[in-house]
Amino acid sequence: MLQFFAKYKFFGIFLFVLSAIIITIIYNILSPEKRLPVYQPNMVNNELVDSTLQEVRKYHTIKDFKLYNQNGDTITQDFYKDKIYVADFFFTTCQTICPIMTDHMLQIQEKLKNDEDILLLSHTVIPNADSVPQLKKYALEKGVIDSKWNLVTGNKKDIYDLARKSYLASKSDGDGGPFDLIHTENFVLVDKERRIRGFYDGTDPKAIEELLTDIEILKNEDR
């Protein structure tokens, strides 16, 4: 009996290895890598989408922009070229959801500070009050890493159009008042092709963990 097993030992090992390879291949076929959706305006609550875009079903991307960060540098879409980034809307004197959102952005910054492919972008919704010096003061207080995270101000209409027509993150077009943009708590995940790949509640710790996981999924897509 021992001689029988000795004779066929290598054949048995070969069959075992072959079986393991076949099982792995079948598993990969039946369990493809997760991919994130590409969000189009028609997939988002109409309350958050400009009426001119509510029926758009494809090709939606973040439009070109020209804003100014906490250092007074001009920030355009070129800064985020070939980068994955997380965007949101806030204002520095907000006492409700914004401090929580900023704390969560800081957590993302800390976890991904050494990953050059991931950047952050926060737009003020009261640009007349959130000047460059005010944003700089806020950035220093919070520990913003300039190379990682831009806090931007600029033309009010441009920012509001971005919120409403690009990032799909505003519940109002604005009526001209100083605090008239009703922005959401959403963090928006944008891929290297300037497409929206996810929305996350910036006040919810579990949503932030989901966002970090989805960033890794998005990075794997690029590979």
DSSP track, 150-217: EEEB--HHHHHHIIIIIS--BS----SSTT---B-SEEEEE-TTS-EEEEEETT-HHHHHHHHHHHHH
Checking if the pLDDT of 24 tops 90, the result is no
pLDDT above 70 covers a percentage of the chain that reads 80
pLDDT above 90 covers a percentage of the chain that reads 72
pLDDT tier for residue 22 given thresholds of 50, 70 and 90: low
Residue 60 is assigned to a ligand binding site: no
Determine whether 22 is exposed, middle or buried from the number of CB atoms within 10 Å of its CB (0-12, 13-18, 19+): exposed
For the whole model, what pTM was predicted? Answer: 0.83
pLDDT tier for residue 121 given thresholds of 50, 70 and 90: very high
58-102: per-residue pLDDT in tens? 999 999 999 999 999 999 999 999 999 999 999 999 999 999 999
Average pLDDT, stretch 113-124?
97
pLDDT at 1: 53
Chain-wide mean pLDDT for the chain?
87
135-174: per-residue pLDDT in tens? 999 999 999 999 999 999 999 999 999 999 999 988 765 5
Residue 94 is assigned to a ligand binding site: yes
**41-45, 126-130, 182-186: least confidently modelled range:** 182-186
Indicate the domain borders of the chain. Answer: 1-32, 41-222
pLDDT at 174: 55
Q: Check residues 52 and 25 and name the one with the higher pLDDT.
A: 52
Residues 169, 88 contacting (CB under 8 angstroms) = yes
Checking if the pLDDT of 18 tops 60, the result is no
CA angle 108, 183, 208 (to 5 degrees): 25
Coil, helix or strand for 61? coil
Checking if the pLDDT of 2 tops 60, the result is no
pLDDT at 21: 59
- Write down the CATH number for the domain with range 41-222: 3.40.30.10
pLDDT at 183: 73
pLDDT tier for residue 133 given thresholds of 50, 70 and 90: very high
Checking if the pLDDT of 213 tops 60, the result is yes
Residue 183 is assigned to a ligand binding site: yes
